[in-house]
Structure 1
Amino acid sequence: MRRLPTLTLLAVAGALTLSACTNAAEAGTDDDTTTAAGTTAEPSYDITAIEKVDEIAALLPADFDGTLSIGDNLQYAPAEFFGGPDGQTPTGYDVDLAKALGRVLGAEVEVNHAEFSSIIPAIGTQYDAGIASFSINPERIEQVDMIAYLSAGSTFSVKAGNPEGLDPADLCGTTMGVQTGTVQDETVDGLSEDCVAAGKEPIEILRYGSQADVTTNVVGGKIDVMYADSPVGQYAAVQTGGQVEQLGDVTDAAPQGIAVAKDDPEMTAALQAAMQHLMDEGIWADVLDAWGVTGALETAELNPTV
């Protein structure tokens, strides 16, 4: 759920890898990494069984050079980050998606890391498309075409088994952890104020510079609840080996989209058809499932109203 550029945590030497949607990383700030017991190896989806669909590939521009160049900001686990054994390999479900689209189109895929704010202006010149957890909004649709593929929002997470028996509809009096600079950091004070206005105990808010620290303190029992982007919270369950679980449903969900140049309708049509094919075949849902994330859309709608 990238409204603006995002902080990241990189998976290096077994570190707990998580990130959050922020308003604080306009300049591309890097996160710290934190190691936690019980982490698991980063997942991935095997794209090798995906076959080229000739009628979709035929939609590509006549001058397409055979390589799909994707602009991405590899600073938002689990969607896109530097991972792999060397900590330098483009990794994440958006990266898996880019490769899957390439398979359908019979194209090579090149994922290019760039500053988040620089990607959209470079689409159509430097990149064929941008896949970087772009939230769809009217301002972006004025600049590029956007193909909807994912719905993401916010979630609460607790220690596995919900030992405190917490109700997501009433978290007054709990200790809640958020990463500084995130959307959740901006909204959590309002949640606490609502509690006070209802005559209940306020939420005790603990802010951390790293999302990994938030997750670690849920596991350790220092905080009762973690409040984060839905992919981040869901991925925490994967990375902690099931020591964290989602509490309640995703809230404030909004669509994300693949960005394509407005003056390249053939590329847009090819990517939209390829995305719809992955949806229809259940492949896109399987990609997200490999990462422990929900929110796969069923229709690759072009420029949806939001």
Structure 2
Amino acid sequence: MRTRTTGAIALAAAAALTLAACGGGDEPGGTGATGGGDGGEGEGGSLTIGIKFDQPGLGFMEGEEPSGFDVDVAKYVAEKLGYSEDQIEWVEAPSAQRETLLSTGQVDMIFATYSITDERRETVSFAGPYFVAGQDLLVAADNTDITGPEALEGKNLCSVTGSTSAQRIKDEHAAGVNLLEQPGYAECVTALVAGQVDAVTTDDIILAGLGAQPANQGKVKVVGNPFSEENYGVGIPKGEVELCEEINTALQEMIDDGSWEEFVRANTEGTGYTPNESLNPPEFQPCS
């Protein structure tokens, strides 16, 4: 029997064996991902994956079925690790809670537009990256004036409360831009379609995912002039090098067999968006 080597999985497997030996079949077992049987690592076990629940096109929970690019990548990796879709438990992973979810063992891995940074590496480890995004602009489909952040001088730009993206444009590119705050990016796109703002800004693939929603298709477009780099990685518990390497192997297979390109296209259809070809598909960073 092949057994997962992560700390959470090893502990869960050991707990399950102990309970079985003591005749405690009615007692609850571990909650981490567990392997079992000769049919693969996921047989009889589960995999807990953190995703965003509120990012259409990336990670969006509608009813009980999640959708989006991050979700497609997560399902692909899970299958390569030996887990079927019905063995995945999806957990909401808001940006501010991702490190806590991993360090406390509430999730086995996270796919949630999770940018790899040195600060985060102090607490968690990363596989990948599986995508390199960049801050960009979403504008009306017929807008030909706004081609980059400098063109926003005197324009109205939607800013999500608590986000630094719009403020960065004001500080570094267009001091005269007018910022309109909204609680979320979906509300920003609604304001854009209604003509209340001239542009929305955040990572390009997030903008493309929003633009691909049926209500927005054909009405908005991604400018396609990114001005930052954000490496989206798979968050895993700190120091899980072997798990990182297994995930990277799965990610490479996803790229090689064309699934990566298919997932991008399916979740950004109708927006005219294409990833930055000089950065994507990305090169993986060393596991540590």
Whether these two folds match at TM > 0.5 is yes
Using the aligned pairs only, state the percent identity.
Answer: 23
Identify which of 75, 78, 91 aligns with 1:113.
91
Q: Deviations over 1:203-233 (max 9, x none)?
A: 2332223322321222222322222332222
Amino acid aligned to 1:174: K
Amino acid aligned to 1:177: C
Specify which structure has the higher proportion of helix.
2
- Say whether the 8 Å CA contact 1:59–1:267 is kept in structure 2: no
In structure 2, runs of 5+ residues without a counterpart are 14-33, 36-41
Distance 1:115 1:105 in 2: 21
- Deviating runs (4+, > 6 A) in structure 1? none
Q: 1:80: Cα distance to partner?
A: 1.4
- Say whether the 8 Å CA contact 2:244–2:287 is kept in structure 1: no
Amino acid aligned to 1:208: Q
Identify which of 61, 80, 95 aligns with 1:82.
61
Identify which of 290, 297, 300 aligns with 2:281.
297
- Say whether the 8 Å CA contact 2:157–2:201 is kept in structure 1: yes
Amino acid aligned to 1:261: P
| Superposition map of 1:184-263 within 5 A | 184-190=165-171, 195=174, 202-239=176-213, 240-263=216-239
Structure 1 residues 90 and 160: alpha-carbon distance in aligned structure 2, compared to 1, 3 A threshold: same
| Superposition map of 1:1-306 within 5 A | 61=5, 64-65=34-35, 66=42, 67-83=46-62, 87-108=63-84, 109-116=87-94, 117-123=96-102, 125-147=105-127, 148-162=129-143, 165-168=145-148, 169-190=150-171, 195=174, 202-239=176-213, 240-292=216-268, 294=275, 296-303=280-287
Distance 2:166 2:191 in 1: 16
Q: Deviations over 1:159-189 (max 9, x none)?
A: 1121x53342432222222222212233243
Q: 1:115: Cα distance to partner?
A: 4.8
Q: 1:244: Cα distance to partner?
A: 0.1
Partner of 1:52: none
- Say whether the 8 Å CA contact 2:125–2:239 is kept in structure 1: no
- Say whether the 8 Å CA contact 1:82–1:88 is kept in structure 2: yes
Which structure has more relative contact order (CA 8 Å, sep 6+)? It is: 1
Count of aligned positions: 236
Structure 1 residues 189 and 113: alpha-carbon distance in aligned structure 2, compared to 1, 3 A threshold: same
TM-score (normalised: structure 1): 0.67
Distance 1:157 1:127 in 2: 33
TM-score (normalised: structure 2): 0.70
Two-structure CA RMSD over aligned residues (Å) = 2.8
